[in-house]
Structure 1
Amino acid sequence: MSKPLTLHEDRLFPADKTVRSIARRLYAEVRGLPIISPHGHTDPAWFAGNAPFPDATELLLAPDHYLYRMLYSQGVPLARLGVPSRSGPSHADPREAFRTFAASWKLFRGTPSAMWLTHVFVEVFGFDVALSPETADLYFDSINAQLATDVFRPRALFDRFKLEVLATTESPSDDLRHHRAIRESGWAGQVITAYRPDPVVDVEHEGFGEAMERFAALSREDVSTWRGYLRAHRVRRAAFKDAGATSTDHGHPTARTADLSDAEAEALYQVILSGKATPEQAELFRAQMLTEMAKMSLDDGLVMQIHPGSFRNHNAEVHARFGRDKGADIPTRTEYVRALKPLLDRLGNERDLCVILFTLDESAYSRELAPLAGHYPILKLGPAWWFHDSPEGMRRFREQTTETAGFYNTVGFNDDTRAFLSIPARHDVARRVDAGFLARLVAEHRLDEDDARDLMVDLTYNLPRRAYRLDRSRPAGLAHGA
C-alpha cells in the first residue's frame, strides 16, 4: 500500500508554539513574493527554444549531482542513471533509470534533496502518494504526460514559479546566442547571464587552450599579450552586460588574491601561455586575475562573486569518464583574511564596488567572513552555499554572521542550481528558515516584530535586488522593506 504524500504547513518552523506562531506570521509576509534568482546554472537554451522537457529522468535525475552523487556513494553506477559521459549522451533507458532512483529513495531521508523533491512532487506535479519502487512507473508516466503539455514548457513554468529574475552562468568563450534568442523572441521573462571567466583564467582547466582560442575569436583581440588579454576580458564583459549580466562569478580553489606590477603580470602571463606553469604559478595567476576582475568591476559596475574552496573533480576515474561537475567536488579549508588583503589594499574602501563572498568552510564565518564584511564597504556575504544549502546550514550562517556583520551586509538567498524545478522549493526553505530565525529573536525580545516583518521582505526580495543591481521596477504590493 502506497504512503500518502503531503507537505506540512509548519515544516521547518520552530517546535515551540509561541515562536512558531511568530514564524507563521513572518513567513506570511513573504510567501507570495516573486523569486529573485540572481545566481544559478540552468540552461538558457530551455528558455530560448521553449521546447518541452523530454522526460522525468532527463529533467530531474540526470542533471542533479545532489541526487546521483548519493546513489553513486551506495554503489549505483552513473551510467545507469542517465548521466551523460565524455563520449556523449547516456544510453540508459530513462524508465529503468527512474526505477533505480525510486528504489533508492530512502537514501535521501532527512536530506535537503528529499525536501526539495517532495515540494516538486506535490506542488509542481500534484502527487499525493509517496515515491517508492511500487509507484516509480506511476511517477514516470504522470510526469512525462504533464511535461508534454504547454503549461509545463520552460517559459510557462518560469511564469508559474513567479520568477522575476533568473540568472544563468556562461563563460567568456560562450557566444550567448541563447540569450540573444530570448531577447529577440519578445517574451517578457527576464533571463540574464553572468560572466564566469574560469575556463580562460585557470590554466589547470583541461579545456584552457580551446577556451582561449574561442575567447580570442569572440573578442577579436590579440590574447598573446597581457594587455590584449585584459582588453579581451573587457570586450566580453561588455557583451555580457548587453545580454543582461549584472554580475561575474569566480570559482577558484582558494580566495587568494595578488596585486602584481604590470611587468610582473606580463611575465607571469607569458609563462601561463607557454604551458609550463607550475601549480604555484597557476595559483598566482588566478590570484592576480581576481584583483584584475575587481578593477574591471569598479569600471563597468558588474557585481563580483567569489566562490572559493572546492577541490574540483576529486574522483579521477569519474572525471576521466564523465567529465567535470559530476558530484565529486569536495570542500576544503579556506582562508580569507590574508588571502584577500592584496585586493582589499587596492580596492577595499571603494563605495561603488560590490564583492560577494561565499564559503564551503563554515569555520570561517564568525572568525573571518563576518568581521571582514562588517568592516570593508565592498564586501557582502553570500548565503549558505552548496553542501550547506540546507535548513541547518542556513541557520548556522545566520547564527555565526549576524552579530558581527548584521543582516544588511548579506545578500539574501540565491539557489545556485541546475535543477530548474527545485528553485521554488529552495527559496521556500530559505524563507521558512529566516522566518524561524527572526521569530526566535522576537520571542526573546531582541527584535521588534514590526522590524522582523521589514527584515523578512528585505532578506527575501530587497537585498538580492540591491546587491545584484537588478534595476527593474519593484512590483506593486510590497508593504515593507527599505
Structure 2
Amino acid sequence: MTRPLILHPDRLFPADKTSRDIARSLYQSVKDLPIISPHGHTDPSWFADNQPFGNPADLLIRPDHYVFRMLYSQGIPLESLGIRTQDGTPVEQDPRKIWQIFAENYYLFRGTPSRTWLDTVFHDVFELDVQLSGDTAQQYYERIDSYLRQPEFLPRALFERFNIEVIATTESPLDDLRHHQKILDSGWKGRVITAFRPDPVLDPDFEGFVDNLAQLAEITGEDTSTWSGYLAALRNRRVFFKQMGATSTDHGHPTATTANLSASEAEALFLKVSRGNCSAADAELFRGQMLTEMARMSIEDGLVMQIHPGSFRNHNRVVFERFGRDKGCDIPSQTDYVHALQPLLEAVGNEPELSIILFTLDETSYSRELAPLAGHYPALKLGPSWWFHDSPEGMRRFREQVTETAGFYNTVGFNDDTRAFLSIPARHDVARRMDCVWLAQLVSDHRLQEDEAFELAADLAYNLAKKAYKL
C-alpha cells in the first residue's frame, strides 16, 4: 500500500492549544536562523572537490550507522548493504539492490528519530510525496539519483541552501588536512573547519597506537619516544589545526577518568605505554592523564575541549574485525563523572578561560552529576543530548533534568554530530522545535516571561553554540 508522505506543520508541538500556540510563535522566530554545526563527521572532501554525490545508497545508507545498525539488528547482513570489509572480500555493489533492501525494511524505523530525519530529507530536499516502501523504492531511487546529478545538489550548493553558517568536521592529528587546505584555497565562502581528535595518539588501546606515535614524530619532527617530545608533538599539531580553522578538540574516551600525575610519574607511564606492553589499568590511567594534559594545552591555545565518554566502542568484535570502526556497534555504558573528573577539575576546573563541554550517553547522570558540576565549575558546560538521546524524548528529558541546576547558559545549544550531511537541517529543526516546546511550557506555567522565551529560543538555536565554540 502506498501512503502519502506528509510533514505536519505542528509536528512535535504540544496537543494543548495554549502551549502549542506559544511554541509555534517561538519556532517561527528561530526556524530560519543560520545553522551552526560545531561538531560532526561529514567528509571535508565533499566540499573540497564539490563533485556530485555518487548515488542514493552511497549518500544515505553507507555512511549512516543509525541506518544500518537497525537493519543489522533484524538480521540483514552488512555485506548486503555494501558496507566494505577490512579484508576486501566482496560485498553488494549494486546501489539499486542496496536501496531496495533499505526500502523494504523502512518500516523498522517507525517512531525513531531516524525516520523523522529521513522523511524530512525525502520531503524537503527531494520533493517526494509518498512514503518510502518496497513498492516505491525504485521511484525514490530514480528521483534522488536524478536530483543528485543537478548543479544545485552539489555539496557546496546544498551547504548554502541549508543555510549553514559553519560546519566542523573531525580529523585525526595524523591527517594532513589537505581537503581543508583545498577549501581555503578555492575562494568559496562556505566555512568548513576541522576539529582536533587526538584519540589515535592518546589512547594506548587504539589500533596501531605505537605506529601512530612514530607517524606523529615523522610529521612534527619531534622525538615522540620521550615524554617531553610527545607533548611537544601534540602542541605542534594543535597549532597546525588552529591554523586550519579549528576552534575545538574532541575526545572519545571510554570513560570520564582523569588523572593529575606528577611530571616524573607521567613520564614513567608514557614510557610504558609507548612501548606497547602496558596493562589495561595503565592504558586507562594514561588516557586520564592525557585529558588533563589536553585541558592544560587548551588554556594555552584557547581550543574548546569536548569530552565524549561512556561509549563501549566496537562492542561487537565480530563486526569490528570484519568491517572496522563506526559500524553501529558502540553501546552506552554507565559513567561516573563526579569522581572521574575530580583530578582534572582540581587542576584546571576553576580556570574561567578554559571551556570544557561534557557529553554523555548515560542519562542517569544528568541531574545527579552533570548539571551540578556545570552549575558550579567555571570551566564546564554541558553538551546537548548525544547520539542515542538526540531524539525528541531525549531532548525533553535533557532540558527537564539539567535546567533546574545548570540553567540554560551552562549549556551550548545543539550540535548534530553526524556523518549524514543531508539530515543536518532536519536534526536542527527537531532541536529547535523541542526547545520551543520546553520554553512554551515554562511560559504556560508562568515561570518565564514570553519576551524572555523569545530571547532564549534564539540563544538555544544559534547564539550559545556560536559563543561556546568561539565561532
C-alpha separation in 2, matches of 1:127 and 1:219: 50
Cross-structure match for 1:348: 349
Counting aligned pairs with the same residue, the percent is 65
Q: CA RMSD in A?
A: 0.8
Amino acid at match of 2:423: S
What is the deviation of 1:351? 1.0
Alignment of 1:25-44 (within 5 A): 25-44=25-44
C-alpha separation in 2, matches of 1:176 and 1:148: 27
Task: Describe the SS at the equivalent of 1:248.
Answer: strand
Cross-structure match for 1:18: 18
What is the deviation of 1:35? 0.1
Which stretches in structure 1 are left out of the alignment for 5+ residues? 471-482
C-alpha separation in 2, matches of 1:440 and 1:265: 50
Cross-structure match for 1:245: 246
The one-character-per-residue Cα deviations of 1:342-396 (angstroms, maximum 9, x if unpaired) are: 1111111111000000000000000000000000000000000000010000000
C-alpha separation in 1, matches of 2:4 and 2:441: 32
C-alpha separation in 1, matches of 2:8 and 2:163: 22
Amino acid at match of 2:202: V
Which stretches in structure 2 are left out of the alignment for 5+ residues? none
Amino acid at match of 1:270: L
C-alpha separation in 2, matches of 1:15 and 1:425: 22
Cross-structure match for 1:279: 280
Check whether the contact 1:193–1:243 (CA below 8 A) recurs between aligned residues: yes
Amino acid at match of 1:236: R
What is the deviation of 1:90? 4.4
What is the deviation of 1:141? 1.2
Amino acid at match of 2:170: T
Correspondence 1:47 to 2:47: yes
What is the deviation of 1:87? 2.9
Task: Describe the SS at the equivalent of 2:274.
Answer: helix
The one-character-per-residue Cα deviations of 1:29-71 (angstroms, maximum 9, x if unpaired) are: 1010000000000000100000100000000001100010000
Cross-structure match for 2:79: 79
Alignment of 1:151-166 (within 5 A): 151-166=152-167
Check whether the contact 2:210–2:276 (CA below 8 A) recurs between aligned residues: no
C-alpha separation in 2, matches of 1:85 and 1:387: 25
Check whether the contact 1:173–1:212 (CA below 8 A) recurs between aligned residues: no
C-alpha separation in 2, matches of 1:159 and 1:85: 34
C-alpha separation in 2, matches of 1:26 and 1:307: 31
Number of residue equivalences: 470
C-alpha separation in 1, matches of 2:208 and 2:182: 26
Task: Describe the SS at the equivalent of 1:36.
Answer: strand
Cross-structure match for 2:64: 64
Check whether the contact 2:367–2:402 (CA below 8 A) recurs between aligned residues: yes
Correspondence 1:109 to 2:110: yes
Alignment of 1:99-248 (within 5 A): 99-248=100-249
C-alpha separation in 1, matches of 2:91 and 2:437: 42
Task: Describe the SS at the equivalent of 1:394.
Answer: helix
Cross-structure match for 1:479: none
Amino acid at match of 2:435: D
What is the deviation of 1:93? 1.3
C-alpha separation in 2, matches of 1:82 and 1:464: 36
Amino acid at match of 1:175: D
Cross-structure match for 1:400: 401
The one-character-per-residue Cα deviations of 1:199-221 (angstroms, maximum 9, x if unpaired) are: 00111111323322321122111
C-alpha separation in 2, matches of 1:11 and 1:352: 40
The one-character-per-residue Cα deviations of 1:435-476 (angstroms, maximum 9, x if unpaired) are: 000000000101000000000000111100100001xxxxxx
Check whether the contact 2:12–2:434 (CA below 8 A) recurs between aligned residues: yes
The one-character-per-residue Cα deviations of 1:263-301 (angstroms, maximum 9, x if unpaired) are: 101100010012110000000000000000000000000
Task: Describe the SS at the equivalent of 1:274.
Answer: coil
Amino acid at match of 2:43: D
Correspondence 1:298 to 2:299: yes
C-alpha separation in 1, matches of 2:187 and 2:218: 29
